Amino acid sequence: MRTLDGNFFIVPNRLFRYAELRNEDENGNDDGLFTRKYGNITGLDYQDDDLMVEFWATSPQCENWHCHEWNELGKEEVMGRLPNHLPARLLAGVKEGDEIVLHFRANNAETPYSYELRLTAHQLGYRYERFGSFEETLAGLLRRATERAA
């Protein structure tokens, strides 16, 4: 298993429940891609009521691991396969500068691969820093989600 280091930051869009994102996929809007890519992070047991936080993973070599070609991974290996949402419960207690580890794996017909992604929460210094630190941004999103639900 190879290890890749990077930063990740929250994209402060509305939080969706996992079931909402999955239903969009089942209605044909994403051609099954959602279900396939969310299965690529091992060890996560998604629940329908999980609030899902959009994020970007980035590094000096590639500004967006989710959709940009990056020679380290190769276009075919990562594009469309790394999820762009994580359950809020996974991020509970994570503060600016903390590291999380995700195990990313997928198999295509030609090359099975597996990576340990070591991602540092780094909201400040990126495009959405005006929302505050990582923990402040997450708290604001959760507060707004709670207010909408009330």
Which tens digits make up the pLDDT trace of 40-55? Answer: 777 788 888 999 999 9
pLDDT for the residue numbered 69: 55
Write the secondary structure of 94-113 as one string of H (helix), E (strand) and C (coil): CCCCCEEEEEEEEECCCCEE
Q: Beta partners for 16? A: 52
Per-residue pLDDT for 68 more than 80?
Answer: no
Of residues 51 and 39, the one with the higher pLDDT is 51
